[in-house]
Amino acid sequence: MKCPACENSLTPTTAGDVQVDICEGGCGGIWFDRKEIESLDEEAEIAGENLLNITRRDDVVRRSPPLSCPVCVKEPLVRQYFDSASKVEVDLCWSCGGLWVDTGELKRVRSQFKTAAERQKAGDAFVAGVLSQHSAALGSLAANEVQEFDKNHSNRFRSMISTLKSLFDPLDDGVFK
């Protein structure tokens, strides 16, 4: 398998009970198959520590986006935030759910939240904020107009919120079936 960022050959490596593919001696990035990052995305998950110092060459330049999925080959990787903290951008294949992190991005992901529950709480707070903005926008309408709007548009709005949440939590089971 070829590195999507520099086209170096990826090397299979074990981290705990997960096998990932690293760009050893190239750009230093890591390919995670669908959901593999979940067992390595927190600092307390010791198995992920060996992925923080991958040998890389400083002269290797990351290709310009969009990158292509190393598994699906012709599918583009979509650059998006890893989670609702909106601090670390990663490259996601919307077809297979695989995830590419450039050198240093895994360390930044691991430092954002101490636990999965903390990450979930931040995601829930984000969605609640969006819902609050929606409610504030409707606040000037009479109560019966708000009820009528909710009755007519609640499914569309819930679908929109679900889509927004999936952009910030791409590894959620509801996204890839």
Residue with tokens 């390919």: 31
Would you tell me the crossing angle of helices 143-168 and 116-138 to the nearest 10 degrees?
Answer: 150
DSSP state of 43: T
Burial class (CB in 10 A: 0-12, 13-18, 19+), 128: exposed
Residue with tokens 């919120």: 161
DSSP state of 48: G
Q: Judge contact between 90 and 99, C-beta under 8 A.
A: yes
Q: How far apart are CA 141 and CA 154, in angstroms?
A: 16
- Average pLDDT of the residues of the chain: 81
Looking at residue 132, what is its pLDDT?
Answer: 76
For residues 25-29, average pLDDT? 93
Looking at residue 175, what is its pLDDT?
Answer: 45
User: Mind listing the pLDDT tens digit for each residue in 149-172?
Assistant: 666 665 665 666 666 666 655 555
Vertex 88: Cα angle to 118 and 34 (nearest 5)? 75
Looking at residue 63, what is its pLDDT?
Answer: 77
Q: How far apart are CA 131 and CA 172, in angstroms?
A: 20
User: Mind listing the pLDDT tens digit for each residue in 29-45?
Assistant: 999 999 898 888 877 77
The residue ranking higher by pLDDT, 153 or 18, is 18
Looking at residue 62, what is its pLDDT?
Answer: 77
Share of the chain above pLDDT 90, in %: 32
Which range has highest mean pLDDT (67-71, 109-113, 141-145)?
67-71
Measured on CA atoms in the order 114, 83, 130, 163, is the torsion positive or negative? negative
**Helix, strand, coil percent values for the chain (each to nearest 5):** 40, 15, 45
Of 22-26, 143-147, 165-169, the poorest mean pLDDT is in 165-169
Measured on CA atoms in the order 103, 108, 109, 111, is the torsion positive or negative? positive
